Structure 1
């Protein structure tokens, strides 16, 4: 964790991945992030994967370093409290992240009536407010029909919810940008971020939509082959499968040197009148001739001999390994300084991720565990909304709010 956003108070009323990810990143940069949920937990409170005791590892992973308030959102008084939290006073408050519907008690108009300069970042499924999650948006934009091997026509959904994660990061960026603007102009605003628009714009930004509109047709399914450049999985003589990519001239010449396939590659260049060193696209266009050469080169060599030479000559490669194996990889998990072993709220103890960026001039502080549900209800109602002890006790007795363990 770092202190770049220390002093900010962000209120989060969200669930699942995109909204909580936004709040997580802000908390990891030092903001005070207060998440409110229904008493008993929101829709993601018990989502898999689970700790041995049944608590959600998913929930505690996405809510590290936040404060938790439990409110009965089905009751008018509970909804009023949620609105007041979202529109909390102070020059560095009035910052709200949500995936609640655009209409209803957490609408921008309802919140702006409490605070004119409120900033509300609203994560949505579709821009027309239709329901959508990462997996349904992903299927709609066509990615699963580009993924997979060409001899199998079934769509392949990705395991990683990429649009959720991109949307969460984009939401955090937009909130900070709107705050800078508010400091300059005094103006608040609502920012709506549909997963559908994040996905559509990402594909367009990478030229994939223009490719079709230019007449190239649908992107072919080609297994693990990298589109438009040289890259694929290869099997070594000792049975190790490696993902190898050669985009830059250095990567390309290093790969050829290590595998000893220079003469064979030169013969293809001569026969077809091309120079693979100058144009990565040519390596893709002539893959029919190149891939058998490189397959044979890998099949002649053991990984123990190849990999040190790859590193020496700047060849870009990665092993295929399970997540269990990756946990022993010192560059990823085992010796990675972004991880700190903590006991989480579930009682499970394991390495917990801190902020993914490193700020060399700043001290990295260890991550903070996720809170127990409702652990900060009284403190938040008192210091953020100014409620006295008697009023907070009344809300407890009436079942409008709850604390951890109640």
Structure 2
């Protein structure tokens, strides 16, 4: 393993999405990531969505480059092995409900006493304190209470969700950002370790732009606006003659003028009242109607060609089929061809962000449950018998 995080050890106590995605990002950039799993089935994500054989294709991505260690955390031996691993780590990432690790003897007070430089990322629904801390929280609830669900969808329909686990993934990104800031403090000698407290709700809320100040000052409640971008004009999703849809962002002043000329509306391009965004917002319906009239008379390829020639930001709405067929994705290394452990070829997403000197790499896909148990626990000086006991394989060694 190599990369900018080479030499960093991360121990993950996580299941499903938030903590595992955060740990995956560490693993992609060279950290040694040890994923602690229950010997009784492991991470439930192994069985989520579409399976190849008996294992989720999502697992092959979410757990790539990780080492799977099966430990029975309810046994004294398993909990002690987990404590020793956590004490040897630079970063611990977990997404238990607050207090869950403490019940296993793996809380911050215990682990930080063993390793004062430890950084612990704690991802939960509502955070480690506050009146809601003990409530169960999933990404969908974070999206609802963080404000994004209320503003998503068409105004004539109930609030919609994005088709991915957005709340969990946003919490993951905030967790990694916080961990790297905390690690920088440790590695530069500015101080010891600390807790990075990440809430699903707050991670979504952090993206909500001017939602709160607009309400606090003017009483404005931002509502659902479909494909439009409220207060910024024109920016919307427009139909084409072949049943497609194109997203057009013509909302800067010079881009707006180029867009209007491209659709044959020089009158609007030269209208002084539309020269800046405030004036365009007042006539947004008129502008959307003009753009729709133009796009609906052309096939999507013709629309995109005309807008590309006019240097106007626009794009078709991609499905998975569009993504894997796109030459730009492939040229950027965003479609990685590899094989699963049984030799089955598979295409996985590439690694983001792109670092010029120390890029992230994929070394292996998601491991088998407990695949690295013996290898990792042996580094703690544990005997084969002790490893078998800690991992719930009591009959494996004597």
Structures share fold, TM-score greater than 0.5: yes
In the alignment, what sits opposite 1:137?
142
Worse-superposed segment, 72-81 or 96-105: 96-105
In the aligned structure 1, how far is the partner of 2:55 from the partner of 2:326?
27
SS state at 1:145 partner: coil
Q: Superposed, which structure 2 residues align to 1:1-16 within 5 Å?
A: 3-16=3-16
Distance 1:3 1:94, change over 3 A: closer
Q: Does 1:224 align with 2:220?
A: no
- Find 1:343's aligned residue among 339, 346, 352: 339
1:367: how far off? 4.6
Distance 1:78 1:113, change over 3 A: same
In the aligned structure 1, how far is the partner of 2:266 from the partner of 2:173?
44
Kept after mapping to 2: 8 A contact 1:102/1:108? no
1:364: how far off? 5.9
SS state at 1:167 partner: helix
Q: Superposed, which structure 2 residues align to 1:210-289 within 5 Å?
A: 210-229=213-232, 230-264=234-268, 266=270, 269=271, 274=273, 276-277=274-275, 279-289=276-286
In the aligned structure 2, how far is the partner of 1:241 from the partner of 1:126?
37
In the alignment, what sits opposite 1:172?
176
Distance 1:239 1:353, change over 3 A: closer
Gaps of 5+ in 1: none
1:55: how far off? 0.7
Kept after mapping to 2: 8 A contact 1:10/1:31? yes
Distance 1:29 1:125, change over 3 A: same
In the aligned structure 2, how far is the partner of 1:357 from the partner of 1:228?
30
Q: Does 1:54 align with 2:58?
A: no
In the alignment, what sits opposite 1:123?
123
In the aligned structure 1, how far is the partner of 2:296 from the partner of 2:50?
42
SS state at 1:157 partner: coil
Q: Does 1:322 align with 2:319?
A: yes
- Find 1:393's aligned residue among 381, 385, 392: 385
In the alignment, what sits opposite 1:77?
77
1:39: how far off? 0.3
Q: Does 1:147 align with 2:152?
A: yes
In the aligned structure 2, how far is the partner of 1:363 from the partner of 1:116?
30
1:347: how far off? 5.6
Kept after mapping to 2: 8 A contact 1:87/1:95? no
Worse-superposed segment, 20-29 or 288-297: 288-297
| Aligned-residue RMSD, C-alpha | 2.5
1:362: how far off? 4.2
In the aligned structure 2, how far is the partner of 1:362 from the partner of 1:187?
27
- CA offsets 1:334-393 (integer angstroms, 9 cap, x no match): 44413321112476421122321222344664453121111111111122x232xxx223
- Find 1:98's aligned residue among 87, 94, 97: 94
- Find 1:307's aligned residue among 292, 301, 304: 304
Q: Superposed, which structure 2 residues align to 1:24-63 within 5 Å?
A: 24-63=24-63
1:108: how far off? 0.3
- Find 1:162's aligned residue among 142, 163, 166: 166
Distance 1:264 1:301, change over 3 A: farther
Pairs aligned (count):
385
SS state at 2:52 partner: coil
Kept after mapping to 2: 8 A contact 1:101/1:129? yes
SS state at 2:59 partner: helix
1:97: how far off? 0.9
Q: Does 1:354 align with 2:350?
A: yes
Kept after mapping to 1: 8 A contact 2:147/2:204? no
